[in-house]
Amino acid sequence: MFDSLSERLGSTLRDLRGKGRLSDADIDATAREIRIALLEADVALPVVRAFINRIKERAKGAEVSGALNPAQQVVKIVNEELVGILGGETRRLVFAKEPPTVIMLAGLQGSGKTTLAGKLGRWLKSQGHTPLLVACDLQRPNAVNQLQIVGERANVPTFAPHPGATGSGELPEGPGDPVRVAREGIAHAKDKLYDVVVVDTAGRLGVDEELMRQASDIREAVQPDEVLFVVDAMIGQDAVATAEAFRDGVGFTGVVLTKLDGDARGGAALSVREVTGQPILFASNGEKLEDFDVFHPDRMSSRILGMGDLLTLIEQAEQHFDAEQSAATAAKMGSGELTLEDFLQQMLAIRKMGPIGNILGMLPGANSGQMKDALSQVDDKQIDKLQAIIRGMTPAERDDPKIINSSRRQRIANGSGVTVSDVNDLVNRFFDARKMMKQMAGQFGFGGGGRSAT
């Protein structure tokens, strides 16, 4: 899902790289590309309009930032707005002060409710809860049985209205009244000290009044702490209409997106929060119980933008780098004039951002096999050693490493507590790195505008 959206947004934003400054016409052209990409991905038109207007307004009004170049600034704005339409902060489940917490699932047939009940049960258990699944889908012949099967797989007990179900032997046989089953399930949970009850309800193939009435009767009767609207992200634009129908007919407190592993365009998933005003709490991306997680708007956005965690890197760069010094260093990197002193300062700034492997891992392409191998060789201790060696040099040596002859190498080695071959290694690697940075500067557009941080 989101592959083609991701590709288009990524290439639009990459086109901005290397531009020293952005004119209004550049921004308009970028906004147009983003608009087409979103519409092609099936994002609802009003959502696209509002999104594009905000991007244009912010990009044109943006203050020139010391730490970011214009392209990075646009990426930052697009990301922030995308996080916004996905809901902003991660929204966590609300638990009742007095257990049991009641979570009701609602949605169309086939949206993945029953599967979700199992996933949610498994996840709640992993969070230290003792959940109970309650089977209130009495319409579909096999639904109760299906819930019992996922319950067993998730190792979570199921309360169901016929014999054989865990702890429900005293209930009447055959299909019954889902409202009654829901009430009895909750009473059973109180009695047996289950602290979360997940109520699976009936769905239909399309939205109909009977379905809505039944769901809202259950809601009325059990007063759930959360009503989760479960929506198949592959149903395209229909998702928005369905969400509106459920919002008006039953009401819900949160959304669960399912089938994000599908190859549909997924724009519906991007519209549902903005259209209904309710947050997305969880996302399902496969048929297995573990294919499920809390929904994080920021992570989803960076996945859609296809920039690895470059965005995190942008944020951290803003926090930790001295803008002027970085700009000067970036310019030197681009022209191949980097000194060991610059190298040391950059290393110190990078070390403040965390373990070096993590930082490099945030760069796009870091998941490729070759890059992974390279990252696994990066060692923070090694970097600390490099720092010690550079600190053992005189300012003149740091400035112009070419003057470091063999007697100087011996002195530096003695002073830094390393061997001469360590010093040789560093000096050789520095010359290699300088060459590589010059090449990278060209490739990533760093250093060109004189305002780069990285």
Closest CB to ligand GDP among residues 122, 451: 122
CA distance 105 to 178: 13
- Scanning 41-85, the segments in alpha helix (DSSP H) are 45-61, 70-85
Nearest to 393 by CA among 383, 382, 405: 405
Q: How far is the CB of 271 from ligand GDP (least distance, A)?
A: 18
Q: Does 339 bind ligand GDP (CB under 6 A)?
A: no
Closest CB to ligand GDP among residues 263, 432: 263
CA distance 224 to 63: 46
Q: At what angle do helices 380-391 and 420-444 cross, to 10 degrees?
A: 110
Q: How far is the CB of 34 from ligand GDP (least distance, A)?
A: 28
Pairing of strands 280-284, 292-294: antiparallel
Helix (H, G, I), strand (E, B) or coil at 341: helix
- 16, 30 Cβ separation under 8 angstroms: yes
Contact segment (CB under 6 A) with ligand GDP among 94-102, 174-182, 254-262, 340-348 equals 254-262
Q: Which two tokens stand for residue 139?
A: 């319409």
CA distance 213 to 368: 51
15, 26, 261, 341: residue in contact with ligand GDP (rule CB under 6 A): 261
CA distance 149 to 276: 33
Q: Does 99 bind ligand GDP (CB under 6 A)?
A: no
Q: Does 110 bind ligand GDP (CB under 6 A)?
A: yes
Q: How far is the CB of 177 from ligand GDP (least distance, A)?
A: 19
Contact segment (CB under 6 A) with ligand GDP among 105-113, 237-245, 342-350, 355-363 equals 105-113
Closest CB to ligand GDP among residues 114, 214: 114
Q: How far is the CB of 185 from ligand GDP (least distance, A)?
A: 17
Site string for ligand GDP, 118-137 (x = CB under 6 A): --------------------
Closest CB to ligand GDP among residues 31, 269: 269
CA distance 257 to 233: 6
Count other Cβ atoms within 10 Å, centred on residue 47. 19
Q: Does 284 bind ligand GDP (CB under 6 A)?
A: yes
Nearest to 113 by CA among 132, 131, 133, 128: 133
Q: How far is the CB of 212 from ligand GDP (least distance, A)?
A: 15
145, 166, 237, 285: residue in contact with ligand GDP (rule CB under 6 A): 285
Q: Does 112 bind ligand GDP (CB under 6 A)?
A: yes
CA distance 135 to 404: 77
Q: Which two tokens stand for residue 77?
A: 């704005």
Q: Does 266 bind ligand GDP (CB under 6 A)?
A: no
Contact segment (CB under 6 A) with ligand GDP among 172-180, 188-196, 253-261, 423-431 equals 253-261
CA distance 315 to 313: 5
Q: How far is the CB of 184 from ligand GDP (least distance, A)?
A: 21
111, 253, 271, 452: residue in contact with ligand GDP (rule CB under 6 A): 111
Closest CB to ligand GDP among residues 242, 258: 258
Q: Which of residues 364-403 bind ligand GDP (CB under 6 A)?
A: none
CA distance 454 to 446: 7
Q: Which of residues 399-418 bind ligand GDP (CB under 6 A)?
A: none
Nearest to 5 by CA among 108, 85, 68: 85
- Scanning 109-261, the segments in alpha helix (DSSP H) are 113-126, 143-154, 178-192, 209-222, 238-249
Contact segment (CB under 6 A) with ligand GDP among 19-27, 206-214, 283-291, 340-348 equals 283-291
Nearest to 386 by CA among 433, 439, 353, 354: 433
Q: Does 115 bind ligand GDP (CB under 6 A)?
A: yes
Q: How far is the CB of 109 from ligand GDP (least distance, A)?
A: 4
CA distance 441 to 444: 6
Contact segment (CB under 6 A) with ligand GDP among 23-31, 285-293, 311-319, 333-341 equals 285-293
Q: Does 258 bind ligand GDP (CB under 6 A)?
A: yes
- 318, 67 Cβ separation under 8 angstroms: yes
Q: Which of residues 201-220 bind ligand GDP (CB under 6 A)?
A: 203
109, 139, 216, 237: residue in contact with ligand GDP (rule CB under 6 A): 109
For the chain, give the number of residues: 454
| Chain residues that interact with ligand GDP, rule: CB under 6 A | 107, 109-115, 203, 258-259, 261, 284-287, 291
